[in-house]
Structure 1
Amino acid sequence: MPKNKSAVLRYRIIDGCLTNSMHPYPSLESIHQKVESQLEKAISISMLNKDLAAMKEIYGAPIAYHKQKGGYHYSEPDFSISEFPLTEEEREALDFSTALLQQIRGTRLFQQFENAINKVIEGYRISKIIGVSQRQFLQVEEPVRPQDSPYLEQLLQSIIHQQPLAITYQGYGREPKLHQFSAHLLKEYRNCWYVVGYSDRGKNLLMFALDRIKHIANSNSEYIKVEGFDPDEFFKYSFGITQIHEAKPEKVVLQFTAYQAPFVLNQPLHHSQKVLKQTDAVVEIEYHVYITTELIMTILSYGKEVKVIQPKTLKDRIKATVQEMAAQYQ
């Protein structure tokens, strides 16, 4: 068995080198560089040779040196130590890695990655324990059109290093405008990325959708840090991504049918959700939120399973929309 967590991680990296069909027959030097790069620390060549010997002993790995190719390989093409059930030490190593991810998860900057971190950890556990690809047994939700923003890393670095930016942003149906922008937060919502920061043009905190950013460049202006900025407070009354701080949040009461109630109670629509009344027929729930398009669309998505009790303005808007929808089918 591996003697420590570091050895387990080295074995996995070496295994990845030996099973990489794009770069077959890696030399000892290239494996050494890969291990050091992945671990971000130096190891000796003698340790690497000991690792190769240990993999043969522990896993029965058919590691061989190909003289003509000048590199190492598995003499059995389909062999991989990833097909072996996790040893106790490997489980401990995974738990150790999970603990590190937990530290990252606790920082505000990386809170948006929590779901992704959980998917990676659980998928890794399952795939290694059963010895096959997790996709045969586990399927996670993926976006229909994944958003790959070229500005995500640059914005992340600007937040970390407090580097002001010159951002050209074009909202839907509007002309592009240049902002001297001090980024404070990256937020993901429904597979789309947004950045919150101080704009010299707006003289306030603004939020930009990354897919509407036309250009970004470093700026010589001063980075303006908004003292007391708290992401949780910033989005406290937002239902979805929209925040309208010039408006006041409203008390919204929705009445769900007995059929829909369990789903809403199990997965609250908003952190302010509070049950006011529950019977065998209905459940009434209170929220304190901004009245936004996301809220209206969510209410409409429940169809006849929900009824707006208050405020009257929201009730009238939903009623008018439903009547317009019905008119489409007459």
Structure 2
Amino acid sequence: MTPHTQTKPMPVNRNALIRYRTIDQCLQNRFKKWTLDDLIKACSDAIYEYQGIDTGVSRRTVQADMEMMRSNKLGYEAPIVVVDKKYYTYSDKNYSITNSPLNQQDMQVLSEVSDLLKQFKGFNHFTDLNEMVSKLEDKIYSQKTQSTPVIDFEKNDNLKGLEWIEVIRKAIVAKKAICITYQSFKAREASTFCFSGYLLKEYRNRWFVLGRSHARNAPLLTLALDRIQTIEEHPDAYRENTTLDLATYYNDCIGVTKSPGQRDCEVVFWIDAANAPYVVTKPLHHTQKLLSEDVSGKIFSIRVIPNFELERELLGFGPKMRVLGPRILVKQIKAQFLKTLDNYDKDSIAPFTLTLNETMKENDATSVSKSSL
């Protein structure tokens, strides 16, 4: 008898995976209405970027891709719907194929990738891989054993703007200008402008893009992705970066707030003995140096550009830290603490206290009425 051989599912080819991911990213972007022609163009652009294939993607291929995504063959069951008989979108605005459970084939690929990456752990040139490998191994473990993860990495599920990361990254790589509609927290209304992006930057789980507006004499801009409303292609020629060393641009600051030509300075601060170990084990900046110490605490210095993020970092330590220099920074930090004390003054918070008391009374009354049912 011929032994029975179990047939394995046909692996999804790379081009198809690129198209699925591209369609998924498009349909997650609800600021744009996606026609079939729009999706075809997006898939063709993605295949050209990643594979160098310029033959385009056919109408039939994209339609078949969406049917495959709708089905359970890949485990997606994507809720793709057609609106007004023309526009494609997800009926569930929070859906993404990236949230789908991993299938057997995915697990095998991830295990192989994890085994490969583990070979580089411990090498100085690949220190950034350590966290990535740990995340990957934890994902594989929890999926295989159907148990809860044993590592809880910092994340923000409600973070806005993540859908723009890949759009901007592609524009930077392809050196294409984009049209951005943007509204900062201080602006009363949004503005639209042409923009050439240079660098994507993450800080405290928020994403930013460094680049230049095409307006005349426009300064260098750092835009928060969560304030971007729309991004579209723009016919203007991309404006190259010819002056900045992007690899080191943010090395002299904490956060993302800085301007070209801004000078750094030595910031000196004291921190009490009980909290000094936290600063030793997690330095405020890579330039941090220990200057002196005694039983009361330690004095450190960092060399950075004074900015909003630096002040917020120092203020976060409260009475456990004292800034010693430069003089202008000491003055600013002191002013911030005095303003904080004013917020706790009885007269200044009286209206807030009154409103809070009224709210608490309403809550108590609601609780009583519910308990009597």
The reply to whether TM is greater than 0.5 is: yes
Equivalent residue in structure 2 for 1:94, among 114, 117, 122: 114
Q: Does 1:137 align with 2:150?
A: yes
Q: Cα distance, 1:132 vs. partner?
A: 2.8
Q: Deviations over 1:190-210 (max 9, x none)?
A: 222111112222544321111
Map 1:1-330 → 2, pairs under 5 A: 31-34=9-12, 36-37=13-14, 94-98=114-118, 117-124=132-139, 126-127=141-142, 132-133=145-146, 135-143=148-156, 145-174=158-187, 175-201=189-215, 202-227=217-242, 229-245=244-260, 247-330=262-345
Maintained 8 Å contact 1:185/1:197 = yes
**TM (normalized to structure 2)?**
0.57
CA distance in 1, matches of 2:282, 2:155: 20
Letter paired with 1:276: L
CA distance in 2, matches of 1:166, 1:38: 28
Letter paired with 2:214: D
Change (3 A) 1:308 1:226: same
Say which SS state the counterpart of residue 248 (structure 2) adopts: helix
Maintained 8 Å contact 1:101/1:117 = no
Q: Cα distance, 1:298 vs. partner?
A: 1.4
CA distance in 2, matches of 1:192, 1:206: 16
CA distance in 2, matches of 1:311, 1:302: 18
Maintained 8 Å contact 2:265/2:306 = yes
With 155-164 and 315-324 compared, the bigger mean Cα shift is at 315-324
CA distance in 2, matches of 1:235, 1:33: 42
Q: Cα distance, 1:122 vs. partner?
A: 3.7
Q: Cα distance, 1:81 vs. partner?
A: 8.1
CA distance in 2, matches of 1:316, 1:39: 59
Say which SS state the counterpart of residue 268 (structure 2) adopts: strand
CA distance in 2, matches of 1:232, 1:306: 32
Letter paired with 1:182: S
Question: Quick one: percent identity of the two aligned structures?
Answer: 25
Change (3 A) 1:325 1:203: closer
Letter paired with 2:10: H
CA distance in 2, matches of 1:32, 1:100: 31
Q: Cα distance, 1:270 vs. partner?
A: 1.0
CA distance in 2, matches of 1:228, 1:313: 30
Maintained 8 Å contact 1:123/1:134 = no
Change (3 A) 1:133 1:142: farther
CA distance in 2, matches of 1:267, 1:246: 28
Maintained 8 Å contact 1:257/1:281 = yes
With 252-261 and 160-169 compared, the bigger mean Cα shift is at 160-169
CA distance in 2, matches of 1:169, 1:234: 23
Change (3 A) 1:197 1:324: closer
Say which SS state the counterpart of residue 234 (structure 1) adopts: coil
Maintained 8 Å contact 1:166/1:219 = yes
Q: Cα distance, 1:250 vs. partner?
A: 2.1
CA distance in 2, matches of 1:190, 1:317: 23
With 275-284 and 142-151 compared, the bigger mean Cα shift is at 142-151
Q: How many residues align?
A: 250
Change (3 A) 1:250 1:268: same
CA distance in 1, matches of 2:308, 2:113: 46
Say which SS state the counterpart of residue 233 (structure 1) adopts: coil
Question: For the aligned residues, what is the CA RMSD?
Answer: 3.7
Change (3 A) 1:98 1:206: farther
Letter paired with 1:172: F
Change (3 A) 1:247 1:93: closer
Structure 1 spans left out of the alignment, 5+ residues: 1-26, 41-70, 72-79
Change (3 A) 1:176 1:265: same
With 138-147 and 250-259 compared, the bigger mean Cα shift is at 138-147
Maintained 8 Å contact 1:119/1:140 = no
Change (3 A) 1:28 1:249: same
CA distance in 1, matches of 2:308, 2:268: 17
CA distance in 2, matches of 1:115, 1:92: 16
Structure 2 spans left out of the alignment, 5+ residues: 1-5, 18-72, 74-102, 346-373
Match of 1:18 in 2: none
Letter paired with 1:197: G
Maintained 8 Å contact 1:198/1:225 = no
Q: Cα distance, 1:221 vs. partner?
A: 1.2
Q: Cα distance, 1:157 vs. partner?
A: 0.8
